[in-house]
Structure 1
Amino acid sequence: MKKLFYLLFVLSSFVQAQVYEVKLELQHHTKYTPEYIEKFFGNIKDVEARKWNIEQNENPKPLDYLIYSSEKEYNSIEQEKIDNAQDTKGGLKKSVAGLPFGLTYSDFNTNENYREVDVYGKKYIVKNPIEKLTWELTNETKEILGYKVHKAKSKYKAGQMVYDVEAWFTKDIDFKFMPIAVQPLDGFVLEMNLFMEIPEVGRMDNFIRVQNIKPNVKNYKFKNPLKADKKSKLQIISPQELSDIYDEANRKRNEMFNQESSIDKK
């Protein structure tokens, strides 16, 4: 009886300790209104420069991520890309709420998400609650990566922004997985779109697509900014506090720039 109990305990522990490695791509796309384009890009007189700036804002290059997820923990890690093109002009990067730049860590026991940010040389840890979305299941289905997937819809509020969310999930994988840092729905999500439409701006879409799945990844150690920065004791702040810190830092930088400009003119 003791041996049977031990075997059941080991098997249960193995299931709970499963770690999935998921490679995915985030593609941002915006279609601005003609009025918005004229208002914010009309002052760029060079036709090619204006075209390039609009294209960078509407269709920035996609971002690659590796997600590591268990039932208890989650890491999202942006994969840096190296552009060796000789004539590269650089470009914009655009992420989306729940899947920001760099590395994030989620604890599903406390329902908290953490990420380290650098504001002009000073580092902080931003703490976000892991939201639980209310999902509406639909009758729509299709196939992704050989799996039959079902469509679910929801809304996701992040700060002042409210996204409409479409998620395509399968029941054929025995694991609950969500590409962004919100509580998983009852299935493995293979594709998402977080989008919004603002009449005076246009429509913004954020397409997230799973490219590859590796179950039972061995020896992965979750990266937790709280533990990594235990010695440095970085200040833990909210997203609103981060926004206020950026506003104040930018105000000071603008003041300094204006002072230097006035000195140069004398």
Structure 2
Amino acid sequence: MKNLLYILLFLTSGAIVSQTKGKVTYLATMNKDSIKKPTEDIKDQAKYDALQLIHGSHPVEAYLVFNDSIALYSVEPKIEIPGWNTTDGQITISKANLNLTWIFAGGESLYYTDWSRDWNISQKDVYFERKRIKYEEKPWELTKETKEILGYVCYKAVSEDSKLEAWYAPELNVKHGPQGINGLPGLVLEAKRNRFLIKATNIDLENNEYEIIEEPVEGELMQEAEYRKLGKAIFSKE
């Protein structure tokens, strides 16, 4: 009987300390099917350039490393491509062309969450200055609509204004998600806003990269409302 009690205690303790952790790889894409392609009959140069940017965009990968409490989201770095320097005939390395999908996925920004202290921030360059933005928890409307993603039953949730749609897996019992899309009762495996889609392509629950996550601390801290107000003020001047 005593041995049985020890076994039960051991199993119970193991359940208490067990955690959901790992790394999710996402693929970010833009739906360009219904957007007119840049053709010679478009006389407006600005419109032509915009269409070229849209149709020249291509998918990128993004990554979420997490445990029960903390998570860090980042996008694959810009790819540097070899270029030919016609001045001295040397091979040079230059930045890849602008990719809108990379920008919409988060670009060089980092998204960090620590639910143990309700800390949800991003670190990004805001008008040429490094800032940290603190976000409030998003209001969600949960639905009963389901679909399967990578073998997990996921439920659909929509944001308050219905512009953002997210699919979360309750079986993966953490509140994390890509690009600060979080706060749901399960890991977010897919999110869609307008033509932009980010969807999990791989989940590695044996990954321990969360052990080396460092919180972004560089940059002045701004509240989300302040950040959005600044953005509106800048665009209203243009």
TM-score by length of 2: 0.69
Q: 1:132 to 1:125 in 2, by over 3 A?
A: same
Aligned pair partner of 2:207 in 217, 230, 233: 217
Counterpart secondary structure, 2:50 = helix
Among candidates 117, 126, 142, match of residue 135 of structure 1: 142
Report the Cα distance in structure 2 between the residues aligned to 1:243 and 1:154, rounded to whole angstroms: 21
Q: Which amino acid aligns with 1:210?
A: A
Q: Counterpart in 2 of 1:107?
A: 114
Question: Offset at 1:65?
Answer: 0.8
**Contact 1:105/1:113 (CA < 8 Å) preserved in 2?**
yes
- Secondary structure of the residue aligned to 2:227 is helix
- Distance in 2, matches of 1:90 and 1:128, equals 31
Q: 1:113 to 1:31 in 2, by over 3 A?
A: farther
Give the aligned partner of residue 27 of structure 2: 25
RMSD after superposition = 3.9
Change (3 A) 1:247 1:112: same
For 1:244 and 1:174, the matched residues in 2 are separated by: 35
Q: Structure 1: which 5+ residue stretches go unaligned?
A: 196-204, 255-266
SS at match of 2:81: coil
Distance 1:216 1:84, change over 3 A: same
**Identity between Structure 1 and Structure 2 (%):** 14
Q: Deviation string for 1:56-95 (max 9, x for gaps)?
A: 1356222321101222111101111315265997224345
Cα gap change, 1:110 to 1:248, in 2 (>3 Å): same
| Cα distance change on mapping 1:123 and 1:153 into 2, 3 Å | closer
Contact 2:190 2:198 in 1 (8 A): yes
3-state SS of paired residue (2:117)? coil
Amino acid at match of 2:106: P
Aligned equivalents of 2:53, 2:128: Cα separation in 1: 26
Contact 2:139/2:159, CA 8 A, preserved across alignment: no
Partner of 1:123: 130
1-structure distance, mates of 2:193, 2:236:
31
**What is the Cα deviation at residue 125 of structure 1?**
1.2
- CA–CA distance in structure 2, aligned partners of residues 31 and 123 of structure 1: 35
CA distance in 2, matches of 1:90, 1:6: 56
* Aligned-partner Cα distance in 2 for 1:181–1:241: 17
Rate the CA distance shift 1:78–1:150 in 2: closer, same or farther, 3 A. Answer: closer
Q: Match of 2:13?
A: 9
SS of the aligned residue for 1:55 comes to helix
Offset at residue 116 of structure 1 (A): 1.9
Aligned to 2:191: 192
CA contact (8 A) 1:132 1:182 kept: no
How many aligned residue pairs are there? 216
Distance across 2 between alignment mates of 1:178 and 1:247: 26
Secondary structure at the counterpart of residue 138 of structure 2: coil
| Conserved? CA contact 2:137–2:183, under 8 Å | no
Match 1:238 to one of 219, 223, 235: 223
Q: Distance in 2 between matches of 1:122 and 1:150?
A: 38
Alignment of 1:12-161 (within 5 A): 12-13=16-17, 15-16=18-19, 18-29=20-31, 43-44=44-45, 51=48, 53-57=50-54, 60-84=57-81, 86=83, 90-94=97-101, 95-96=103-104, 100-101=106-107, 102-138=109-145, 141=147, 143-145=148-150, 147=151, 149-157=153-161
* Structure 2 gap ranges (5+): 85-94
Helix, strand or coil at the partner of 1:25: strand
From the superposition, tell whether residues 144 and 124 of structure 1 become closer, same or farther in structure 2 (CA, over 3 Å). closer
